[in-house]
Amino acid sequence: EDKVVQSPLSLVVHEGDTVTLNCSYEVTNFRSLLWYKQEKKAPTFLFMLTSSGIEKKSGRLSSILDKKELFSILNITATQTGDSAVYLCAALLGSQGNLIFGKGTKLSVKP
C-alpha cells in the first residue's frame, strides 16, 4: 500500500529558530515529491522535487529529495510567526498524477 510518513507530527519553536521537517515515502510509480503549506484552508504549493540531490529554495524555505533513501526534508531558517501552519508532504504518482499525502507536521512558531 502506498504511504507517506511525516515527522515530527507537531513542533513548537521560537522565532528565529531553524526547523527541519521530514518526509519518507513508499509508493509505486513515484514521480515527484511535493510540499504544501496549509493554514486552516486549502494547501498552498511550496515545492516540487523530482531529482535527487538538487536543493530547491524559496526565501527562507528550502527542500531536497533523496530518491535512493526515499525521503525529503523541508528546512525553514529564521522562523517567523507567520510560518505557523501544517506542512504537508505528498508523493505524486506517475500514471494518473494523483497525490498521496502524509498526515502533516503542525509547526507553531512562538514570538
Q: How far apart are CA 85 and CA 90, in angstroms?
A: 16
Site stretch for other proteins (CB under 8 A), options 13-21, 57-65, 74-82, 102-110: 102-110
Per-residue interface string for the shown chain with other proteins, residues 29-48, x marking contact by CB under 8 A: --xx-x-x----xxxxx--x
User: Dihedral (C-alpha) 9, 76, 65, 46: value to the nearest 10 degrees?
Assistant: 90
102 binds other proteins (CB under 8 A): yes
Residue 102 exposed, middle or buried by CB count within 10 Å (0-12, 13-18, 19+) = buried
Distance of closest approach, residue 40 Cβ to other proteins, in angstroms = 10
Distance of closest approach, residue 29 Cβ to other proteins, in angstroms = 12
Distance of closest approach, residue 96 Cβ to other proteins, in angstroms = 6
Within 13 Å and on the Cβ side, how many CA atoms surround 49? 26
Task: Tell me: cis bond preceding 111? Omega within 30 of 0 counts.
Answer: no
Using the minimum distance from each CB to other proteins, give the nearer residue, 86 or 109: 86
Residues engaged in binding other proteins (CB under 8 A): 4, 31-32, 34, 36, 41-45, 48, 88, 90, 92, 96-104
